[in-house]
Amino acid sequence: MGEQIIWENRDGVLVVTLNRASKLNALNRSLVSELGEVVHKLNFEADCRGLIITGAGEKAFAAGADISEFANYSGDEAALMARRGHEVFNEIENSAKPVIAAINGFALGGGLELAMACHLRICSANAKFGQPEASLGLIPGYGGTQRLVQLIGKGKAMEILLTGDMLSAPDAHRLGLVNQVVEQETLMDTAFEMMNKILSKGPVAIAKTIEAVNAYFDTKANGFEEEIKGFAHCFDTNDFKEGTNAFLEKRKPEFKGN
C-alpha cells in the first residue's frame, strides 16, 4: 500500500489508518483506491477475520473529501469519482467479515459516509459528525443520502443534509448513528473489545447475519427469504455442530468458519 494508508494485521484483525493527518485525513482518489485494495484483502485472505478503520492523529477520522482535488471537475469526472467511492464503500458494507469504524474526531462529508458504510461505529467524545456538502452547492456523493436515512430516519437525516449542521458525539449516540462513545485514549481498546466479542462467535453465522440485515435495504432482495436461506445454511456447517455441542457440553466453542 502507499503512504495514504497505514495498515497492520493484529492477530487476524486488520487495523487500517487513514494517514493524512495534516489534511485531517481528507479522502482523495488515491486514498479511496488504497482503501478499496485493503478491503479486498480482508474479504479474500483467510488470515484477516475483521477490520477496524480509524484516522491518524486525534483531530479527525476523515474530515470529508479533498475539495482541492475535485474543485474543477466536470460532471462526468465527478460521476466517476462518486462511482468509485460507492464501489469501495459498498464492498465495506457487504463484507462477510465485521468492519468497525473507530472514529477519533471529525467525521464529515465523505468521512461520515465511510463510517456509515462500516457495520459498527465507536467514537471518541470529541467526535463531530455532519454532511456539509450543501454549503458547497453539492450533495453527498458516497452514499450519504441513503445510509444516513437508514441509520437515523428520514426527518433527522433531512435536517442534517439540508442545514449542514454538525452532531456532537452524544447526539450521534442518542440518534443511533454510533454504537458507543468513549474517551479518546480508550477508543482502540474498545473497538478491539467489541471486535473480539464478535470474532468469538461463529464466522459463518456472522457473515450470514450481515448478509440478511443488508438485504432489508436492498430493493432487489427479500430480507425474510435471505434470513431463511442463511438460517438453513448454518445448519449444514461444522460451526453449528460445534456451537450446539459446546452449549450442551457446557464449554466454550471453537469455531473454524466452515
Strand positions, DSSP E, the chain? 5-10, 13-18, 50-55, 60-63, 99-103, 106-108, 120-124, 128-130, 167-168, 180-182
How many residues make up the chain in this entry?
Answer: 258
Q: Is 225 marked active-site?
A: no
Q: Is 133 marked active-site?
A: yes
From 3, 58, 91, 133, active-site residue = 133
Give pLDDT, residue 147. Answer: 97
* DSSP collapsed to 3 states, 75-141: HHHHHHHHHHHHHHHHHHHCCCCCEEEEECCEEECHHHHHHHHCCEEEEECCCEEECHHHHHCCCCC
pLDDT digits (tens, 9 = 90+) for 72-123: 889 999 899 999 999 999 999 999 999 999 999 999 999 999 999 999 999 9
CATH of domain 5-199: 3.90.226.10
From 113, 159, 185, 254, active-site residue = 113
Grid coordinates of 164: 449542514
Cα 93 to its chain centre, rounded Å, is 6
Query: Under 8 Å CB-to-CB from 90, ≥6 apart: which residues?
Result: 117, 143
Neighbours of 53 (CB within 10 A): 28
Tell me which DSSP letter residue 147 carries: H
Query: Under 8 Å CB-to-CB from 137, ≥6 apart: which residues?
Result: none
pLDDT digits (tens, 9 = 90+) for 28-73: 988 999 999 888 887 788 889 999 999 999 999 999 888 888 888 8
> Is residue 107 a contact partner of residue 156, using CB atoms and an 8 Å limit?
no
pLDDT digits (tens, 9 = 90+) for 17-26: 999 999 999 9
